[in-house]
Structure 1
Amino acid sequence: MQQPSMVDLRDNRVVNEVMKMKVAAMVISLAILLCGCNAQAVSEKKTEMTILAAASLTEAFHEIEEAFEEENTHIDLTITFAGSASLAHQIKEGVKADVYVSANEAYMEDMVLEKYISQEDVHVFAHNKLVVMVYKDQKHKISSLEDLIQKDVTIILAEEAQPIGQYTRKMLDKIQQDNLDGEDYTRLFKNNVISYEHSVKAVVAKIEIGEADCGIVYATDRTKANEANIITLDIPDACNQMATYTIGKLTQSQKGAEKFVDYVLGEKGRQVLEKYHYILP
């Protein structure tokens, strides 16, 4: 058998070295590619932000959320809607959030006193009024505040801990002061209340399906989705209450929080709020 020559051995070694270099180059290239992919993945990772917003803002803020995310593709919003009091309690219990939106200035003031939000970061951005929401098929032909104290009329309200509940109480106090028809209006009104709900949206939901004849809600709670089942009655300005909405970023919030607040306060946010019939400051 012929033994390999020295030239053959050298050629084999050269080939082996070349192969090793090619393999090494491929490994390095792959590593660079993977590092690049990882860097790109990191750079494309979205900032997740949590917004706690009053339930009465649900429709408008869903639209604002969609428009904001379209313009800020690196930010992913999660909006939790509930009563303003419930949301404030969640913050105090340690729930992580970036922005708090309240339908009552008192709860925002409490957030400032407790140092969850700085006073300079609090902004008034909208107002609302109360209306009587009436189920269309109710039998009492309710058409005025006086009709709410008829015998057997059923009323649903929000809990007084919630802003809408507090505004309702103030409305009743004002009506009582004016001594409507010489009656004990507040007592007769409360005699007709069959349920107190945890948020204004819960009140609306029950009236829409006829679980009660009527209830006190915000003017913005009448929507295209429910107008087939309900009507709303205006409450005279003399006894109506103006709800004030405030927004503020929490002191422990992420950088993107201020951008969201600015969007709500800006022209595009105002256009959405006006579309849903909020009163702009």
Structure 2
Amino acid sequence: MNPGGRGGDDPARRGPLARLTARRVREARATGGRVRELTAVLAALLLLTVSAGCSPGPQPLVVHAAASLTDVLPRIGSRFSAEHGGVELVYDFGGSSSLAERIRQGSPGDVFVSASEPVMESLAGTGLVEQPVVVAGNVLQIATPPRNPAAVDTLDDFTRAELRLVACDPSVPCGAAAEQLFTTAGVEPRLDSLEGDVRAVLTKVAADEADAGLVYRTDVLAAAGRVEGVDVPGAEAASTRYPAAVVTTGERTEEARELVAYLLTPPAQQLLAGAGFRAP
């Protein structure tokens, strides 16, 4: 199963991830769509629960954030809350493109932290977010089950037909970065699935449902003991930067601005570095 890229109708001109067969693309995107829909429903239910509470207190600060921030951002939020009067934060993690679409559709939110500068720039162009600032960086690694039983050591191993191999869909930042890596290396990967966000790839590898997958270095560190990481030559050329911005339709603009600024403070940057993120 050959993956594919995103350019034009001529298969020969498409990137390697986008050359996945039409059937597999439909299956992968349908699955990703269901996951994104479920996440959106759960987030909406959480917000409704908070809104319906008996307390007349202020609404929580709602943060939409890239899935690769799932482990570290709540830790930063806890410090921020302790230093800002105990403000409550609610998180909605997922693929950056899906999160941006929720914001466009009017999903409640105060802060957006994306793993894609183009996605953020698109929102900024519509006036839905204030001026973004880059708060962190990341690079891809190959994730394998412990002890790497299939001996996946390079991108070339992603052409081995006997292996179960996964990556993110090119429509999300981790997939766009993976596509760039494969294209630069001249590798035509044989992928079994394209996932809707990086944590879905990590989950498959950690559950031994895949022999290898491309995820961020931070995800490998977060899953220490459940996966191993293999450095990818040239990964720096496809590095990811994380812009953060205040959502202009949010209800807690001042607190949102304070949180975005806090992400660049030494305490927050120390936590990000400890999780494997690069400095902005």
Please give the TM-score of this superposition, normalised by the length of structure 1. 0.75
User: Which residue matches 1:56?
Assistant: 68
Structure-1 separation of matches of 2:235 and 2:91: 35
Match of 1:236 among 233, 236, 251: 233
RMSD of aligned alpha carbons: 1.8
SS in 1 for 2:249: coil
Deviation at 1:72? Answer: 1.8
Distance 1:136 1:48 in 2: 39
Aligned to 2:27: none
Looking at secondary structure, tell me which structure has more helix per residue: 1
Identity of aligned residues (%): 27
Aligned positions, number? 224
> 3-state DSSP class of the match of 2:268?
helix
Q: Indicate the SS of the match to 1:124.
A: strand
TM-superposed CA distance for 1:74, in Å, is 4.3
Matched, 1:200 2:212: no
Question: Secondary structure of 1:52's match?
Answer: strand
Structure-2 separation of matches of 1:151 and 1:74: 53
What SS does the corresponding residue of 2:261 show, helix, strand or coil?
helix
CA–CA distance in 2 between the matches of 1:112 and 1:129?
24
Superposition deviation, residue 147 in structure 1:
2.4
Question: Matched residues in 1 for 2:91 and 2:235: separation?
Answer: 35
In the alignment, residue 277 of structure 1 is paired with which amino acid?
G
Secondary structure of the residue aligned to 1:265 is coil
Contact 2:155 2:182 (C-alpha < 8 Å) held by counterparts: no
CA distance in 2, matches of 1:217, 1:209: 15
Separation of aligned partners in 1, 2:89 and 2:260: 12
Q: Which runs of 4+ in 1 moved over 6 A?
A: none
Taking a change above 3 Å as real, the CA distance of residues 238 and 203 of structure 1, as seen in their structure-2 partners, is: closer
Structure 2 match to 1:130? 140
Runs of 5+ unmatched residues, structure 2: 1-54
Cα distance in 1, alignment partners of residues 212 and 138 from structure 2: 19
The answer to whether the Cα contact below 8 Å between 1:102 and 1:245 also exists between their aligned partners in 2 is: yes
Q: TM-score, normalised by structure 2?
A: 0.75
| Uncovered stretches (5+) of structure 1, i.e. residues with no partner | 1-40, 177-184
The structure that has the greater radius of gyration is: 1
